[in-house]
A and B are shown apart, each in its own frame.
Chain A
C-alpha cells in the first residue's frame, strides 16, 4: 500500500514538469514590515504542494498572491503562464474560473443556504439549467461527504461541515488548481484526518493541482507530493517529502521535530534566577 503510494507520487512528480504556477523573486512589504523577501517557487501540473510554515511566516500572503487576490508589486507571479502583475481584469476573471479556493474560515455566504452557496459559481458562470445545477450541487456535496444540508444555513453547520461545504463550493466549477488555506485549522483531529483523506481522494480522482498552506505536520506529510518550508518570508527548503525529512537545515529539523525555540543564554539565566 505504502509502496504503491510512493510510486504514484514519483510518477506524478516525474511525468509532468510543466509549471502551472511560478513565483519569481516575490517581495511583499506592508509599510516597514517585510512579509515576503524574495520568494521563488514552481508548482507543477497535477502535484500537491504543501506550503509549511509557522504563524507569521508569510505563507498565507504567498497563497493570496497565487490566488490573484493581491497583485505582486516586486517580483512576479504567473499562473498558467499569465503574469498576475499585469493581467487585465477580464483575463483574471477567466483565470479564476479555473481555480478553486477554500478559505481558512470557510467564508461561506451566511445570507444564503449551503445549496445556494455551492450553486452560486455555477449560476454565475455557466448557462446550465437550474434543475441541472441543483443536481450538480447535490453531487458536489456528496463528494465531500455531506448529504441533506442544501437547505440549511452555514451557521447551522459545525466547523468541519462548513469547511467541507466550502470545499464543495470551490470544486463546483471543476477547477484545475485548488487552493487550500489551513484545511485543519480549528478542527478536532478526527475531522481533520477526514479532510486529509478527502484531499487524497481528490488527488486520485482528478488530474488536479492542489496547493495547501498549513502548519499541521501530520497532515502535510500525508497529502504532499512536494513541500516547501517557509520562514520569516524566505523559503528554507523545497523538495519531495523524503527530501524535506532528510534536510540538514537546523530550522527545518526544528520545525519537523516540533521543538520549541532554545531560550537564549540571557533569558535562561534569568529563569534560573542567577
Chain B
C-alpha cells in the first residue's frame, strides 16, 4: 500500500511538472510576438540581443574546446579499432556523421546548460526571492513576457549557431588526427566530409538544437519561478535546473534519434 501511494504521488508530481512546463511554453509563445523589433519601443528586442551575446558569443570559446576534444577522442577511439582492419579511412565518415547528427548538438546543449541554464535559473530564482517578479506583476508586466521570452528567443537563435560551431570544431579536430595518421591534407579531409554529409544529417542536428534550446530555457526558468525558501532555495533550484535539463535533453535526444532512425531514412 505504501509503495502504491508513493508511486501515485510521484506520478502526480511528474504530471504536474509537465503540465506547468506546457502552460509556461504556451504563454511564452503567445508573448513571443511582442519581441519583434518593429513592435512597441523595441525594449524586448534589445533584451533579446543582450541575451544572445550572453548565451551565444560568450559560450563559444569553451564550446569549441569541448567539441574539439570530443571530435579528437572519437577519432582516437575509432582509430584504435579501425587500424586492425586497415579501414582507417572510415574515420572521416564516423567523425563527420556522428558530430553532425549527434555529438555536436549534444555538446553544445551541455555547455549551454552549464553556462546559461544555471545562470538563468539563478537569476530568475533571485528575482523571485527578492520580490522582483511580484514587482513586475504589480506593474502589470508578466514575468514570462518580460523575463522568459527574450531568453527563449535568444536561445532559439543561438543554440543552432553554437551547434554549427560545435560540429565544425569536432570535425576539424578529427581532421587534425587524420592529417597525422592518414597523410590526408586538411582540405582533402574537409571535402571528403562534405561529400559524405547529407542534408538530412545537418537538418536533424539543427532540429535537435532547437528542441534542446527550448528545454533548457523552459526548465531553467520554471525552476527559478517556482523557487521556495530564500537564498538556500536559489542554490537548490540552480542544481535542479541543471540536472533536469541534462536529463530531459538526453531523453529528447534519444526520442529524436529514434524518430529519425525509423521515419527519415
Find out whether the CB atom of A105 lies under 8 angstroms from the CB atom of B130: yes
A89-102 to B contact mask, C-beta < 8 Å, 1/0: 00011101101110
Interface membership of B132, Cβ < 8 A: yes
Chain B residue numbers with a CB within 8 Å of A121 are: 139-141
Minimal beta-carbon separation of A230 from chain B (angstroms): 21
Q: Which of A104, A110, A124, A130 is in CB contact (< 8 Å) with B139?
A: A124
Is B200 in contact with chain A by the CB < 8 A criterion?
A: no
A/B pair count, beta carbons within 8 Å: 56
Q: At the interface, yes or no: A221 with Cβ under 8 Å from chain B?
A: no
A123 at the interface (CB under 8 A from B): yes
Complex Cα distance A169/B130, Å? Answer: 16
Q: Are B43 and A123 in contact (CB under 8 A)?
A: yes
Quick check: A96 and B138 within 8 Å, CB to CB?
yes
Instruction: Report chain B residues within 8 Å CB of A123.
Output: 41, 43
Distance A103 CA – B136 CA, assembled complex (angstroms): 11
Provide the bound-state CA to CA distance between A120 and B139, in Å: 9
Task: Say if the beta carbon of A69 comes within 8 Å of chain B.
Answer: yes
Task: Find out whether the CB atom of A99 lies under 8 angstroms from the CB atom of B138.
Answer: yes
User: Do B141 and A124 have beta carbons less than 8 Å apart?
Assistant: yes
List chain A residues, Cβ under 8 A from B138.
67-69, 96, 99-101, 103, 179
A246 at interface by CB-CB < 8 Å: no
A107 contacts the other chain (Cβ, under 8 Å)? yes
A263 to chain B, nearest CB (A): 31
**Is the C-beta of B137 less than 8 angstroms from some C-beta in chain A?**
yes
* A107 in contact with B132 (CB, 8 Å): yes
Tell me if B81 is interfacial: C-beta within 8 Å of chain A. no
How many whole Å from A164's CB to the nearest CB in chain B?
15
| Structural contact, A107 and B130, CB atoms closer than 8 A | yes
Q: Please name the residue on chain A nearest to B146 by beta carbon.
A: A124
Tell me which of B132, B137, B141 contacts A69 (CB under 8 A). Answer: B137
Q: Which residue of B lies closest to A130 (CB)?
A: B41
Cβ contact of A96, chosen from B43, B127, B139, cutoff 8 A: B139
Collect the chain A residues with CB atoms within 8 Å of residue B134's CB. Answer: 64, 69, 101, 103, 107
B5 CB to nearest chain A CB (Å):
18
Nearest chain B residue, comparing its CB with the CB of A127: B41
Q: Is A33 an interface residue (CB 8 A)?
A: no
Verify if A258 is at the interface (C-beta below 8 Å from B). no
In the complex, chain A residues whose CB is within 8 Å of the CB of B15:
none
User: Which A residues are CB-close (under 8 A) to B198?
Assistant: none
Contact A93 to B140, CB < 8 A, known contacts A105-B130, A123-B41:
yes
Instruction: Specify which chain A residues have a CB less than 8 angstroms from the CB of B132 in the assembled complex.
Output: 107-110
User: How many A residues are at the interface, by size bracket?
Assistant: 20 to 34
> Could you say which residues of chain B place their CB within 8 Å of the CB of A104?
131
Contacts of A100 in B (CB 8 A): 138
- Given A123-B41, A123-B43, CB of A96 within 8 Å of CB of B130: no
A125 in contact (CB, < 8 A)? yes
Question: Does B80 make an interface contact (CB < 8 A)?
Answer: no
B197 at the interface (CB under 8 A from A): no
Contact check: which of A96, A105, A107, A108 meets B140 at CB < 8 Å? A96
Q: Which residue of A lies closest to B127 (CB)?
A: A109
Query: Contact: B140 with A97, CB < 8 Å?
Result: yes
Contact of B135 among A64, A68, A97, A101 (CB under 8 A): A101
User: Shortest Cβ distance from A191 into chain B, in angstroms?
Assistant: 20
User: What is the distance, in angstroms, from B250's C-beta to the closest C-beta of chain A?
Assistant: 32
Provide the bound-state CA to CA distance between A120 and B132, in Å: 13
A104–B130 Cα distance when bound, in Å, is 9
A107 touches B135 (CB 8 A): yes
Contacts of A130 in B (CB 8 A): 41
B140 touches A103 (CB 8 A): no
The interface residues of chain B lying within 8 Å CB-to-CB of A107 are: 130-132, 134-135
CA distance A67 to B136 in the complex (A): 12
**What is the bound-complex CA distance between A69 and B132, given in angstroms?**
12
Within 8 A of B (CB), among A159-211: 166, 169, 179
Query: What residue in chain A is nearest B47 (Cβ atoms)?
Result: A111
Among A64, A105, A120, A124: residue with most chain B CB under 10 A: A124
Chain B 128-164, CB-CB to A under 8 Å as 1, else 0, gives 0011101101111100000000000000000000000
Distance from A59 Cβ to chain B, minimum over Cβ atoms (Å)? 16
The distance from the CB of B6 to the nearest CB of chain A, in whole angstroms, is 19
Chain A residues within an 8 Å CB radius of B43 = 123-124
What are the 8 closest A-B residue pairs judged by CB atoms, nearest first?
A96-B140, A107-B131, A101-B138, A107-B135, A93-B140, A103-B131, A121-B139, A107-B132
Q: List 28 A-B contacts (CB under 8 A).
A: A64-B134, A69-B138, A93-B140, A94-B140, A96-B137, A96-B139, A100-B138, A101-B135, A101-B138, A103-B131, A103-B135, A104-B131, A105-B130, A107-B130, A107-B132, A108-B132, A109-B127, A110-B132, A120-B139, A120-B141, A121-B140, A123-B43, A124-B139, A124-B141, A125-B140, A130-B41, A169-B139, A179-B138
